[in-house]
Amino acid sequence: SQTIHQWPATLVQPVGSPLSLECTVEGTSNPNLYWYRQAAGRGLQLLFYSVGIGQISSEVPQNLSASRPQDRQFILSSKKLLLSDSGFYLCAWSALITAQYFGPGTRLLVL
Amino acid sequence: GQQVMQIPQYQHVQEGEDFTTYCNSSTTLSNIQWYKQRPGGHPVFLIQLVKSGEVKKQKRLTFQFGEAKKNSSLHITATQTTDVGTYFCAGWGADGLTFGKGTHLIIQP
């Protein structure tokens, strides 16, 4: 069966510090991968998606970037965090236009 | 671009009452999906509807896809405290998958 891992679960970072969040998927090949951000009590904002290694599409211009160095690895990064980057970051995978399966998420607080 | 509107934003019900959330798309959809997010958790896929007019049931949950494939609803019969959470619809259209903003279901015992 397929599983999706995200780490860390929680993160507190100072403004201006770098960020690296990692997501890995097991049990499937060539998945579509997604990064979402969710503000407290709000909806899901799609940040990036990838249909293959090295292929990244950005949905929202921002302080973040994404990379897919391996088929089942998706990384979200920032060189300098802003206060507005705080939120709940969710990684998800899907096969074509089927359901998306979310990881447990990372709660990021930028102080 | 494609928009998916979901109402209501919040719904308070007494335990045992029914609950319905509605989803409307600005464009025709290939399919519609429903997710549930428990407080403090991540969204979990519930179901996908593909056919015009399709109705699917999961125990006390009934999902409908409109004839025009632009709207959908989720109905919960006799809510229980375990139903608490946020219910999201998400529609696959020309712009990919678009999530609604969700309906927060609050249940008072």
Of B27, B81, B82, B74, which Cα lies nearest the Cα of B55?
A: B74
Tokens of B24: 């409307």
Chain A positions touching B103 (Cβ under 8 A) are: none
Instruction: Indicate the pLDDT class of residue B2, thresholds 50, 70 and 90.
Output: confident
Chain B positions touching A46 (Cβ under 8 A) are: 99
Query: Mutate which of A10, A38, A44, A107 to test chain B, going by most B C-beta atoms within 10 A?
Result: A44
Of A16, A10, A11, A12, which Cα lies nearest the Cα of A82?
A: A16
d(CA A65, CA A86): 15
Please state whether beta strands A3-7 and A19-26 pair in parallel, antiparallel, or not at all (unpaired): antiparallel
Chain B positions touching A41 (Cβ under 8 A) are: 104
Q: Quick one: DSSP state of residue A57? A: E
CB-CB contact of A21 with A6 (8 Å): yes
Q: Does the pLDDT value for residue B56 go beyond 90?
A: yes
Across the interface, whether the CB atoms of A105 and B44 are under 8 A apart is answered no
Q: Which of B41, B48, B96 sits opposite A98 (nearest CB)?
A: B48
Instruction: Indicate the pLDDT class of residue B91, thresholds 50, 70 and 90.
Output: very high
Domain ranges across chain A: 3-110
State the nearest Cα–Cα gap between A83 and chain B, in angstroms: 21
B33-52 residues touching A, CB cutoff 8 A: 33, 35, 41-45, 48
Question: Which amino acid does the sequence have at B32?
Answer: I
Strand order in the sheet with A19-26: A3-7, A19-26, A73-78, A65-70
Kindly report the number of other CB atoms within 10 A of residue B1's CB atom.
Answer: 9
d(CA B57, CA B76): 10
Across the interface, whether the CB atoms of A102 and B101 are under 8 A apart is answered no
Q: Which of B30, B41, B97 sits opposite A100 (nearest CB)?
A: B97
Q: Which residue has the tokens 């690296």?
A: A20
**Complete domains list, chain B, with CATH:** 4-108 (2.60.40.10)
d(CA B5, CA A96): 23
Q: Is B90 on the interface with A (CB under 8 A)?
A: yes
CA angle A29, A35, A41 (to 5 degrees): 135
d(CA A42, CA B9): 10
CATH superfamily ID and name for A3-110: Immunoglobulins (2.60.40.10)
pLDDT in tens, chain A (111 residues): 889 999 999 999 999 999 999 999 999 999 999 999 998 888 999 999 999 999 999 888 678 999 999 999 999 999 999 999 999 999 999 997 789 999 999 999 999
Measured between CA atoms, the residue of chain A closest to residue B104 is A41
At a CB cut-off of 8 Å and minimum separation 6, what does B59 contact?
Answer: none
